[in-house]
Chains A and B, each alone.
Chain A
Amino acid sequence: MFGLSEDCILEVPEEYYTLKDYEGNVPRWCPGCGDNTVLTVIQRLCRDRQLPPEKTVFVSGIGCSSRFPHYMKTYGFHGLHGRAFPVAEGIKFRRPDLHVFVATGDGDCCSIGAGHWVHAVRYNMDLTVMLLDNEIYGLTKKQTSPTSRIGTKSNTHPKGSILPAINPLTTTLGISNVSFVAQTADWNPPHMYATLMAAHEHKGFSFVRILQRCPHFNADAFETLAHDADASLLLRHQKGIQMDAALEKRYPNILEHDPSDLNKAREVAGREDKIPLGLLYQNTSNACYNDYGAHNMGFTIEQKKEALNRQLDRYAV
């Protein structure tokens, strides 16, 4: 009929962004630091999704990983220690049209920012959250972090840490209104790409813990895990992270895990024998707090002025 079909309307965006369009300053992370991988993967994601740089914001707190916004040529906010979430929430609340990413670390999120973390999960705003977890304070040169495993020797605990580590996955899964929790690792970039892509596509607070190597201050933490696939447990499901079959074959331990099962997700997240990689939990029906924030989006400047004047007129003498 008229030669008209579903794909005959050609929508050509005004601009095309290359990888270079997302590359900001030259990273100052140490050679071999896992943060480099995350940065490249994120830049590829932005390019493949053609996210307009002027519509994309990276928000961070303090820490090695929190230098992230400097290296992206998008909008960015290098905020206060532990306060990445409130800033990101503020942005998303008033500008739901922006793509907001949060780069935070184990200190920034799980220590000083833990209070905000709990509420950010509950608010379930549409944010893509990357917890770059190297299990150590690297920026301040090796102090114990809340995710450092028991016995980790550091400047604060020369004889080894004595408290059990926080598990960011079980913690997040324990908070009400949680909607997306996944885990990936810096030594598997294709898996990280697929995971972050799924997180970005999820509408809500998508929390991705990235196991990230710190070759300078915590070189041993992930040594076994990075080189021995047997120590990991790859989560697979048709609703989960889709991996290339050839790469999947490298993992001897694969678990069919339905990400809609919260109890099962908590159980898998808490496993200590094998480290799970993949999507633990996803729920797309949870309430998103930012849906209630943008009441005046689309108002013209005149309308906004008029509303302001109306308010101010109440105080006119």
Chain B
Amino acid sequence: MTPSEIDSKPLLSQAKPTLKMQKDPPASDMLTPESKEFWKKAGDFMRTGSGGALDPSLLPPLLSLYRKPVHIRHDYPLWVTTDGNASGNEVIQPLRTMLERSLEKTLAPSEGRLLRDNLDRLESLIRDKVMLESKPLEGKALLGEALDKIKHGWNPVDQEQFDSSVHVLLRDIPGGIWVPFCMETPIYLMAALLKRDTKTRETRIQEQIQKLRQPLETMLWINQSKGKEGHSPEKIQSSLGLGSAFINPLALSRVLPESANNPLSNRRLERIRNVLKTFDDVPRLFASETSLALSIAFRHCSEALQMFFPECKPQFYSSEQGFQTLQTRFEVHIKPWVELIKALRIGKLELKEQYDESIHDDYFEHFDWKFMTVEELEMCPPLVMFEEERTIQHNGFSDLSRLLLSEKPVKIVILKTESGSSATDAQGDMLHTLRLELGEVAVSHRQTYVAQASTALIQHCVTSITRGLNIAKSALLYVLSSPSWSSDELQPWLLTHAAIEGREFPLFSYDPEKGLLWGSRFSTDINPSAFEDWPEYEIMIETDAGQNQSRGFDFTFADYASLIPEFRSNFLLVPDACVKPEMVPLQEFLQGPQEQYYRQRPFIWMADTEGKIHRVLVSFAIVRTCKERLDFWHMLQDLGGTRNYHAEIAAEKARREVSQEYEQKIEELEQAHARKIQQVSQNAARQTMENLARTLLNLDAGESVFSATSAPMHSATVSPRDDKSPTFSTNAEPESKTGPATSGPASEAPWIESVLCTSCGDCIAVNSTMFGYNEDKLAMIKNPLAGTFKHLVSAAEKCPAECIHPGTPLNPKEPGLDKLIQRAARFNG
């Protein structure tokens, strides 16, 4: 999987500047009667969380720019290959990536203009269709349908050109399906990855088998030749073939001595035969492999899953049995694979003649999956179970815990579909109870790979699933998919994204095999603004003066909650006339002290369909949940090291120590420096005095006063300039040959410098099968064999752009070639 375009793109800050802010409150505290009435009502609302009724068309400012029916380019639908032949990163590809890669692979950059021009349209047609159906659709059929729709109504010539590129494109595309953004997306992703990995596993196992099979079979053959059977008259006769006419096999059989080496014992023979038999069963084992076990709630997926596994159906189980049966199911699942691993091990021992019946018989009798090495476990297809989150909430929690503690390498995928209703039990109000964080609980089982992932961030999701499937330990993948509710205003993947942005469902991974130190195993880096409390984004708004200005907004849990229909009563729009100075943005309110609760009123910004951004009051229930979510997020930040309490304290301490150390060092250096200056100035004064005295004493000798002092000046002499400075010799470098390559010996193909063509049609008039137009209506040679050299030469002569180069004749028997070659010469130069 290549890094998704969408994961890595920067924030949209140049969105259309149609947003305008609600005016700030007046400075005076005077309240109008209308305002008084509103705030009286608002008091009750904030306490009880009822009485608000948020208009569903109000959206957080950034999201308001992407209301339906705006077509947004995103990763979905995904192209998921079903035939298991695709290599690593081509199994799952975002729509656009798939189209671009296929084009790149099949067509040269200058080809397929019509197809390339219509790529956006193709993308849009496929996306609309798959999203409308909200179930997987057969890949090539839909692609073909969309392509047909594009060319509909075109001129036949264009259609023909288009079809020729489409034909090449479709020919090279493997079997696949389009998977929309829906609740079951993770199931299809898992199926595709299982299929890919099964293929890899089979290859690895077959490689090992190949190494063992031949020598083991040779052992059996030698044994047979040496034994009594090998000396039988029949055997001798068959070995001699025609020679048996001259030799009496019966007599020979009688005189042959017994073999010196003892043949293999019967038990050993049987063991080897059993090993070979197990090897023979491997293809059947893979064909009948059913690694997927799904809760009955996903029975509707069976049709789509059939496309991945046409020969065997995934198993469905009723949710009541859940994790209990998975314990026994695993034993059944792993049994044939245990036998295979056993056979591989016995085969190896037999070849090395190291099988000791006194030790190994007993060992292999009790051999099960627990004795397998990590490599061996990785060779066995994992058992994957799909369950809905609500089952665990109801009754499966203890069973799940038991399963994880058993260390069985099962893979459990739990689909989180409800909007933050993790704590839903009978009373089921997520705003008034704490959440059970399933991912965090699973981490506490220590030896399980745990990932909280979401299909909205496809790259992280696929990486997590792949790791979970291949680790030789149990894995719990807690995946947030499409919500069960929908919005008239926003695409479902945006709603899911909002859950991640609003810290409702932070993403993380815990890989127990990543390192010895705990911190190295836990990562929260994938989250948006992983170092901050809430993600902040900037958008352009229009000021009162009509100018565009960038302004930052935080995306809090409350912004996410405002999108959920059942929470709308917890939000209250503040009319323009009722805005008060006591209102503070929610993120500031959350950071403030508890006492503020009496005075301040928290609000979030929300934009209406006209682009006006209003203040919206939030209830205390939302505030509480925001705090709870923030607390959980802080915990994850701490575990993931993005904001670790101990690390921060240690860093602060280290900073203090280092700065103290440096201050001390600076002080010492300054003192030493001062001492040195003092010493130097004393020395200089003494030296000067001595020099002066000496000079005065030597005056009589008639020497110049300055001669002594100026002497050192001569120490630096300027060496004569080297005259051999580099010159710009034309011979410095060997000249590269710019002329044409050595003139062609035998033949030179005809060609047209299409870019210079004036589209006059003269060449086509000469021979319309030899010459034709390309997609830009520029002349090209369609088929050089469709005419004579004479055609080429006369076309070149007629061409006003002189862009036809006839080359050399392809048919040496053409009459009058000598003259034609002469005529062609001036166009070939």
List chain A positions with a Cβ less than 8 A from chain B: 1-12, 16, 18-21, 31-34, 36-37, 39-40, 43-44, 186-190, 213, 215, 226-227, 244, 247
Q: CA A10 – CA B70 in complex, angstroms? A: 8
Quick one: closest B residue to A213, CB to CB? B800
* Interface residue stretch chosen among B10-18, B37-45, B225-233, B727-735: B10-18
Q: Is the CB of B756 within 8 A of A1?
A: no
The residue that B66 contacts in the complex, of A4, A20, A227, with Cβ under 8 A, is A4
B7 on the A face (CB < 8 A): yes
Q: CA A264 – CA B762 in complex, angstroms? A: 40
B555 — which chain A residues lie within 8 A by C-beta?
1
B801 on the A face (CB < 8 A): yes
Q: CA A43 – CA B778 in complex, angstroms? A: 12
Q: Is the CB of A189 within 8 A of B71?
A: no
Q: CA A186 – CA B801 in complex, angstroms? A: 9
A215 — which chain B residues lie within 8 A by C-beta?
800
Query: Chain B contact residues (Cβ within 8 angstroms of A): what range?
Result: 35 or more
A188 — which chain B residues lie within 8 A by C-beta?
756
The residue that B71 contacts in the complex, of A11, A18, A33, with Cβ under 8 A, is A11
Q: CA A271 – CA B531 in complex, angstroms? A: 66
Quick one: closest B residue to A227, CB to CB? B802
B759 on the A face (CB < 8 A): yes
**With contacts A10-B71, A189-B756 known, is A2 near B776, CB below 8 A?**
no
B757 — which chain A residues lie within 8 A by C-beta?
189
**With contacts A4-B62, A12-B120, A20-B155 known, is A33 near B74, CB below 8 A?**
no
* Interface residue stretch chosen among B494-502, B586-594, B614-622, B658-666: B494-502
B761 — which chain A residues lie within 8 A by C-beta?
31, 36
**Pairs of residues from A and B, 10 with the lowest C-beta to C-beta distance, nearest first:** A5-B9, A40-B759, A37-B758, A20-B155, A3-B6, A10-B71, A18-B158, A1-B11, A12-B124, A36-B760
Q: Is the CB of A36 within 8 A of B775?
A: no
Q: CA A32 – CA B763 in complex, angstroms? A: 10
Q: Is the CB of A9 within 8 A of B71?
A: yes
- 24 examples of A-B residue contacts, CB within 8 angstroms: A1-B11, A1-B535, A1-B537, A1-B555, A2-B62, A2-B497, A3-B75, A4-B9, A4-B72, A5-B11, A5-B12, A8-B72, A10-B71, A10-B123, A11-B71, A12-B124, A31-B760, A31-B765, A31-B798, A36-B761, A40-B777, A40-B778, A189-B756, A190-B756
Q: Is the CB of B456 within 8 A of A3?
A: yes
A32 — which chain B residues lie within 8 A by C-beta?
760, 762, 798, 800
The residue that A36 contacts in the complex, of B9, B14, B537, B758, with Cβ under 8 A, is B758
Q: Is the CB of A21 within 8 A of B120?
A: no
Quick one: closest B residue to A13, CB to CB? B121
Q: Is the CB of B758 within 8 A of A34?
A: yes
Q: In whole Å, how far is A22's beta carbon from the nearest beta carbon of chain B?
A: 10
Q: Which applies to chain B's interface (DSSP): helix, strand, loop or mixed?
A: loop
Q: CA A190 – CA B801 in complex, angstroms? A: 12
Of residues B6, B14, B760, which shows the largest number of chain A Cβ atoms within 10 Å of its Cβ?
A: B760
A11 — which chain B residues lie within 8 A by C-beta?
71, 120
B755 on the A face (CB < 8 A): yes
Q: CA A4 – CA B71 in complex, angstroms? A: 12
Q: Is the CB of A20 within 8 A of B154?
A: yes
B157 on the A face (CB < 8 A): yes
List chain B positions with a Cβ less than 8 A from chain A: 6-7, 9-12, 14, 62-63, 66, 70-75, 114, 117-118, 120-121, 123-124, 150, 154-155, 157-158, 456-457, 494, 497-498, 501, 528, 535, 537, 555, 755-762, 765, 775-778, 798, 800-802
Q: CA A11 – CA B1 in complex, angstroms? A: 27
Q: Is the CB of A6 within 8 A of B155?
A: no
Q: CA A4 – CA B16 in complex, angstroms? A: 13
Q: CA A3 – CA B762 in complex, angstroms? A: 53
Q: Is the CB of A187 within 8 A of B801?
A: yes
Q: Is the CB of A3 within 8 A of B117?
A: no
Q: CA A6 – CA B539 in complex, angstroms? A: 12
Quick one: closest A residue to B123, CB to CB? A10
**With contacts A189-B755, A190-B755 known, is A5 near B10, CB below 8 A?**
yes
Q: CA A19 – CA B759 in complex, angstroms? A: 13
Q: Is the CB of A9 within 8 A of B72?
A: yes
Q: Is the CB of B71 within 8 A of A12?
A: yes
Q: Is the CB of A8 within 8 A of B9?
A: yes
Q: In whole Å, how far is B502's beta carbon from the nearest beta carbon of chain A?
A: 11
Q: CA A187 – CA B800 in complex, angstroms? A: 8
B775 — which chain A residues lie within 8 A by C-beta?
19
Q: In whole Å, how far is A169's beta carbon from the nearest beta carbon of chain B?
A: 23
Q: CA A44 – CA B777 in complex, angstroms? A: 8
Q: In whole Å, how far is A184's beta carbon from the nearest beta carbon of chain B?
A: 13
Q: In whole Å, how far is B534's beta carbon from the nearest beta carbon of chain A?
A: 11
A213 — which chain B residues lie within 8 A by C-beta?
800
Can you add 8 more A-B contacts, CB < 8 Å, to A4-B66, A12-B124? A3-B457, A4-B62, A5-B9, A10-B73, A12-B71, A31-B760, A34-B800, A186-B758
Q: Is the CB of B150 within 8 A of A16?
A: yes
Quick one: closest B residue to A10, CB to CB? B71
Q: Is the CB of A10 within 8 A of B158?
A: no
Quick one: closest B residue to A190, CB to CB? B755
A12 — which chain B residues lie within 8 A by C-beta?
71, 120-121, 124
Q: In whole Å, how far is A5's beta carbon from the nearest beta carbon of chain B?
A: 3
Q: CA A281 – CA B417 in complex, angstroms? A: 63
A247 — which chain B residues lie within 8 A by C-beta?
755
A37 — which chain B residues lie within 8 A by C-beta?
758-760
A10 — which chain B residues lie within 8 A by C-beta?
71-73, 120, 123-124
Q: CA A185 – CA B756 in complex, angstroms? A: 12
**With contacts A32-B800, A39-B759, A188-B756 known, is A2 near B124, CB below 8 A?**
no
Q: Is the CB of A20 within 8 A of B760?
A: no
Q: CA A2 – CA B457 in complex, angstroms? A: 9
Q: Is the CB of B73 within 8 A of A7?
A: yes
Quick one: closest A residue to B125, CB to CB? A12
Q: Is the CB of B12 within 8 A of A8?
A: yes
Of residues A8, A188, A227, which shows the largest number of chain B Cβ atoms within 10 Å of its Cβ?
A: A8
Q: CA A12 – CA B122 in complex, angstroms? A: 9
Q: CA A10 – CA B121 in complex, angstroms? A: 9
The residue that B9 contacts in the complex, of A3, A9, A186, with Cβ under 8 A, is A3
**With contacts A1-B11, A8-B9, A187-B758 known, is A16 near B118, CB below 8 A?**
yes
Q: In whole Å, how far is B270's beta carbon from the nearest beta carbon of chain A?
A: 61
Q: In whole Å, how far is A39's beta carbon from the nearest beta carbon of chain B?
A: 7
Q: Is the CB of B117 within 8 A of A4?
A: no
B758 — which chain A residues lie within 8 A by C-beta?
34, 36-37, 40, 186-187, 189
A244 — which chain B residues lie within 8 A by C-beta?
755
Q: CA A265 – CA B314 in complex, angstroms? A: 78
B494 — which chain A residues lie within 8 A by C-beta?
2
Q: Is the CB of A16 within 8 A of B62?
A: no
Q: In whole Å, how far is B443's beta carbon from the nearest beta carbon of chain A?
A: 27
Quick one: closest A residue to B537, CB to CB? A1
B762 — which chain A residues lie within 8 A by C-beta?
31-32
Q: CA A1 – CA B457 in complex, angstroms? A: 11
B14 — which chain A residues lie within 8 A by C-beta?
6
Q: CA A7 – CA B801 in complex, angstroms? A: 41
Q: CA A213 – CA B758 in complex, angstroms? A: 11
B120 — which chain A residues lie within 8 A by C-beta?
10-12
Quick one: closest A residue to B118, CB to CB? A16
Q: CA A113 – CA B753 in complex, angstroms? A: 38
Q: CA A16 – CA B10 in complex, angstroms? A: 30
Q: CA A247 – CA B121 in complex, angstroms? A: 34
Quick one: closest A residue to B775, CB to CB? A19
B7 — which chain A residues lie within 8 A by C-beta?
3
Quick one: closest A residue to B128, CB to CB? A12
